[in-house]
Amino acid sequence: MSKANLLDRRQVVSTLLADRKDIVAIGGLGASTNDMCAAGDHARNFYLWGGMGGAAMIGLGLALAQPKLPVLVITGDGEMLMGMGGLATIGLQKPANLSIVVLDNEAYGETGGQTSHTSAAADLVGIARACGIEDSRAVTTMAEVEAFATAVHDVSVGPRFANVKIDSASVERILPTRDGTYIVNRIRGDLGFQPI
Amino acid sequence: MHARADAPDTAPNWPDDIFATLQRFDVRQVPYVPDAGHSKLIQRVLASSTMRGIALTTEEEGVALLAGAWAGGQRGALLMQSSGVGNCINMLSLIPILRFPFLTLVTMRGEWGEFNPWQVPMGSTTQGVFELSGVKVLRASNAAEVPAVLEAAAAQAYNALTPTAVLLSQRLIGAKVFTK
């Protein structure tokens, strides 16, 4: 079931990554990883197929290792709810180059569309802000998505968090590679690191 | 507070040995969940100019963090207590899938002079949980063997990408004592 006036997830993600330059992007377990791939496979895409709840923390580890690179986590509301403590850890570390986008359809789309806590109780923007991520935004328009996409490249004033209300309609599955070692080594290679 | 019933030293040096090994292996990110057994090591890490101590809300965050650190070119080591190992199980699946170097140092509870029965179940299964999850287990039972065990663990974790946990036994740390 989809509500009116909600953003299209593929349009949101392709806008975030349209002029990505040197961004390293991490997808969450679920449709957000497919959305990243649909926007175009890239050597700096970190596709998550497991470890639910870990996307934001993978982003933190990467952001701390590469403080001059914009690191963008694009995940779903269910994945973010599972790793919610990570927002407090990120709020404590305050990595200026880390941005997190939650594609919030208020449902667990991968498992039959059961409603998530964001549909009626949990306000992820409020949670992120209360965890110390000052720049936490509720996003409802494509103009706001575009503004956030620009802000991501400023690696001096983050961390930042955006909760984007998206349409819950199912979209075609675009599946990226599932080979985790390949995914990580491709990122490392693109950043200039040799195999061990 | 910890007190050792079988040794007089209250300020052990083995955390310094661990710190020196981590430094030599160029460990840069040290996620931890606060723990009395690791308190001296955590202090050393937080005072270090080359390592970043990262306080977590739960141990599984540290596993994911180290995956990201490796993708970004840095090594890390996760500090936790035996009870926290249970919090990590699903996230440990990232290690063989992404094949990143994983070293964790675990202070043990529930195995030597424990007073709190609630610590015993997880303390008793820590080694088994790791082994079922594909993490090799080494153990240090006394201060003298800490440097050699840490050297071996760090070498196989970082040079051979062999995920390794070092269990720092409760006998080494000292049983926790609560006095009324």
Q: How far is CA B150 from each of CA B23, B43, B53, B116, B167, rounded to the nearest angstrom? A: 12, 18, 19, 28, 10
Alpha-carbon span B49 to B39, nearest angstrom? 18
Query: Look-up: residue for tokens 């661990």?
Result: B18
Of B57, B71, B94, the CB nearest to A188: B71
B69 vs chain A: nearest CA distance in angstroms? 4
Residue B1 pLDDT exceeds 70? no
DSSP notation for B30-81: EEE---GGGHHHHHHHHH-SS-EEEE-SSHHHHHHHHHHHHHTT-EE-EEEE
Mean pLDDT calculated for residue range A78-85: 97
Indicate the pLDDT class of residue A23, thresholds 50, 70 and 90.
very high
- The C-alpha angle A111, A116, A121, rounded to 5 degrees, equals 175
Q: A57, A89, A179: best mutation site toward chain B, by most B Cβ within 10 Å?
A: A57
Closest C-alpha to B5, from B143, B169, B175: B175
Instruction: Say if A69 falls within a structural domain.
Output: yes
Report phi then psi at A124, rounded to 5.
Answer: -65, -30
Q: How far is CA B142 from each of CA A110, B7, B13, B78, B134, rounded to the nearest angstrom? A: 49, 11, 11, 21, 25
For A131, the token pair is 């965890």
Instruction: Say if A3 falls within a structural domain.
Output: no
Residue A135 pLDDT exceeds 60? yes
Instruction: Say if A74 falls within a structural domain.
Output: yes
Alpha-carbon span A104 to A153, nearest angstrom? 23
B37 vs chain A: nearest CA distance in angstroms? 22
Alpha-carbon span A94 to A130, nearest angstrom? 13
For residue B1, count other CB atoms closer than 10 A to its CB. 10
Q: What is the pLDDT of residues B22-47, one digit of tens each?
A: 999 999 999 999 899 999 999 999 99
Of A50, A63, A65, the CB nearest to B73: A65
Please tell me whether the overall predicted TM-score, pTM, comes out greater than 0.90 for this model.
yes
- pLDDT given for residue B176 in this prediction: 66
Q: What b/e string do you get for A137-158 counting C-beta neighbours within 10 Å, with b at 16 or more?
A: bebeeeeebeebbebbeebeeb
Instruction: Say if A95 falls within a structural domain.
Output: yes
For A179, the token pair is 């080979």
- Structurally, chain A folds into a number of domains equal to 1
Query: Look-up: residue for tokens 């400023």?
Result: A154
Indicate the pLDDT class of residue A110, thresholds 50, 70 and 90.
confident
Judge whether A183 and B98 are in contact, CB under 8 Å. yes
For A17, the token pair is 């990554």
Mean residue pLDDT of chain A comes to 95
Q: Is B157 exposed, middle or buried (0-12, 13-18, 19+ CB in 10 A)?
A: buried
Quick check: B137 contacting A, CB < 8 Å?
A: no
Judge whether A145 and A164 are in contact, CB under 8 Å. yes
Q: Which helix (H) or strand (E) holds A58?
A: helix A55-65
Q: What b/e string do you get for B53-80 counting C-beta neighbours within 10 Å, with b at 16 or more?
A: bbebbbbbbbbbbbbbbbbbebbbbbbb
The predicted complex's ipTM stands at 0.96
For residue A28, count other CB atoms closer than 10 A to its CB. 32
Quick check: B71 contacting A, CB < 8 Å?
A: yes
Mean pLDDT calculated for residue range A124-153: 98
Indicate the pLDDT class of residue A171, thresholds 50, 70 and 90.
confident
Q: Provide the CATH number for the domain around residue A184.
A: 3.40.50.970
Residue B11 pLDDT exceeds 90? no
Instruction: Say if A4 falls within a structural domain.
Output: no
Judge whether A166 and A8 are in contact, CB under 8 Å. yes
Instruction: Say if A182 falls within a structural domain.
Output: yes
Instruction: Say if A58 falls within a structural domain.
Output: yes
Closest C-alpha to A118, from A78, A145, A79: A78
Query: For the domain bounded by B26-173, which CATH number is listed?
Result: 3.40.50.970
Alpha-carbon span A44 to A100, nearest angstrom? 16
Instruction: Say if A18 falls within a structural domain.
Output: yes
For A181, the token pair is 């070692």
- pLDDT given for residue A31 in this prediction: 93
Residue B180 pLDDT exceeds 80? no
Q: Is A19 exposed, middle or buried (0-12, 13-18, 19+ CB in 10 A)?
A: exposed
Residue B158 pLDDT exceeds 50? yes
Quick check: B33 contacting A, CB < 8 Å?
A: no
Q: Which helix (H) or strand (E) holds A126?
A: helix A124-130
**Domain boundary assignment for chain B:** 26-173
Quick check: B161 contacting A, CB < 8 Å?
A: yes
Mean pLDDT calculated for residue range A3-16: 90
Mean pLDDT calculated for residue range B73-94: 98
Alpha-carbon span B99 to B122, nearest angstrom? 26
* Residue range(s) defining the domain that contains residue A47: 9-190
Whether A180 and B99 lie within 8 Å, measured CB to CB? yes
Mean pLDDT calculated for residue range A10-38: 96
Q: How far is CA A151 from each of CA A20, A77, A159, rounded to the nearest angstrom? A: 12, 22, 10
